[in-house]
Structure 1
Amino acid sequence: MNVWIERTLLIMLAPLLAIQGVYTRRVTPKLPEPPGPREGRAGQGSVLKLLIVGDSAAAGVGVEHQHNALAGQLVAALAPHFELHWKVIAQTGYTTRDVLRRLEHEPGQAFDLVVLSLGVNDVTSAVRTGKWLAQQRDLLALLQQRFLAQHVIVNAVPPMERFTALAQPLRAILGARAHRFNASLASVVDQWPGCELVRPTLPSGREALADDGFHPGRSAYREWARHLAERIAAWERGRRVTDL
């Protein structure tokens, strides 16, 4: 959707979209962040220090325990190949600005690799694309300077037009906005060393979503973790070749 068309629709449909937004927040179940460890060690092999940062998806909302969330499933996929030292810093509702503020107060610690899951709350909070991209650049710089991240995997904003909790036309407009964010984000990541953008192919249909129609379900977390594990393994192979 062209940005000017999107802005015109936003102006024309503003009263309806406001009503739909209020209604969605009122009727959508508020799922909790699942219990379970948010840091630990697992596996054996070469040491890999992993940090997962982000919003409610990174925190695992949508499943009943961290074992079935992104962190738990990613740790399970990587543990046969690495001695994994891992940590999650994530919270429901976090925008990119919120993560920046949180990490500025975290003690400095070295991580080989960082996985970022952000963007949905930036889309719904109507932050402008340019401002969001500036915050993304600040975040990448912070991760590489304060946390010594050798590689950062940035997850694209998910296809919000598939979020069944959202009514139309709100769903279509937020979906178009998410796609526009991703197109702009790709240009930033392509020019940023030590960074890559991934767009996991997630299961389709209602079973891929949690009961709230907004967050990933168990199968989506599993496929997401599998995709990330493949990218991490490929990066690690490249790092070993470079070190030879």
Structure 2
Amino acid sequence: MTELFRTQTHTAATELRYLALGDSYTIGEGVPESGRWSVQLARALRADGIPLADPRIIAQTGWTTDELDAAIDAVHPLAEYDLVSLLIGVNNQYRGRSVDEYRAQFAGLLERAIGFAQWRRERVLVLSIPDWGVTPFAHEAARDAGRIAIEIDAFNAAAKEVCDARGVAFVDITAVSRAYGAEPRMLAEDGLHPSATMYNEWMRLALPVVRAMEAVG
């Protein structure tokens, strides 16, 4: 057993619940459900003997922080999950919205995520915003990759600051998105969103962090 569940013996009757919050990167635009990074994460944990269910996903392509917040209000998810992930912010950057606004709205979403995790911040996982500026979509649209990178870094710095202040795990997947994000095998057909192969890279970065989380109980 990993540290995450070291104090419990689980059976099929005690399937653990997972809530994944986000935008296109969480819903997996352009990939089958099985290819989503959050679904791959749950599958990998089950292979470790941890009975984590596939995630309940509240996410949609194009959502900003305030749109995700409104969607959560509309859905009213149950407030008792064993793991909660949050990945949001690329559309704030894409629409030219401010880092200060993002920081405030992200902080509110993170508090909600902690609440859904039964107020156990050690059950919450945040992924950084990937850099879409390296993709063929950005190149073909003549977008300034350097500027996008600077802005993405600023948004991620704000999110990490909020996570660090609350003791929430922050996983940097931005570097791998920059290293491989222009490769055809790492992209969905639209040349913008990640493929299941890229999502697997993200999952590999998240997996040891989740494995090391404090025991649920």
TM-score (norm 2): 0.80
Q: For residues 24-63 of structure 1, what are the structure 2 equivalents within 5 Å?
A: 47-63=15-31
- Aligned position for 2:104: 134
SS class of match (1:67): helix
Residues 84 and 179 (structure 1), Cα distance of their counterparts in 2 relative to 1, 3 Å cut: same
1:153-212 deviations in Å (ceiling 9; x for gaps): 11111023312211344332222210111122221111113x111013356123212121
1:121-165 deviations in Å (ceiling 9; x for gaps): 111111110110000111111222355252221111102331221
Please provide the CA RMSD for this pair.
Answer: 2.2
Which protein has the bigger strand share? 1
The reply on whether 1:100 has 2:74 as its aligned counterpart is no
Could you list the runs of 5+ residues in structure 1 that have no partner in the other structure?
Answer: 1-42
SS class of match (2:81): coil
Determine which of 182, 187, 192 is the counterpart of 1:209. Answer: 187
Q: Which has the larger radius of gyration?
A: 1
Q: What is the Cα deviation at residue 46 of structure 1?
A: 6.7
Q: How far apart are the structure 1 equivalents of 2:171 and 2:160? A: 9
- Aligned position for 1:218: 196
Q: How far apart are the structure 2 equivalents of 1:141 and 1:182? A: 17
Could you list the runs of 5+ residues in structure 2 that have no partner in the other structure?
Answer: 1-10
SS class of match (1:189): helix
Contact 2:117 2:124 in 1 (8 A): no
Runs of 4+ in 1 over 3 A off after TM superposition: 43-47
Q: What is the Cα deviation at residue 44 of structure 1?
A: 5.1
- Aligned position for 2:133: 161
Q: What is the Cα deviation at residue 231 of structure 1?
A: 1.4
Q: How far apart are the structure 1 equivalents of 2:119 and 2:132? A: 29
Contact 2:129 2:152 in 1 (8 A): yes
TM-score (norm 1): 0.72
Q: What is the Cα deviation at residue 72 of structure 1?
A: 2.8
Contact 1:45 1:82 in 2 (8 A): no
Identity across matched positions, percent: 27
SS class of match (1:114): strand
- Structure with more relative contact order (C-alpha pairs < 8 Å, separation 6 or more): 2
SS class of match (1:101): helix
Contact 1:186 1:197 in 2 (8 A): yes
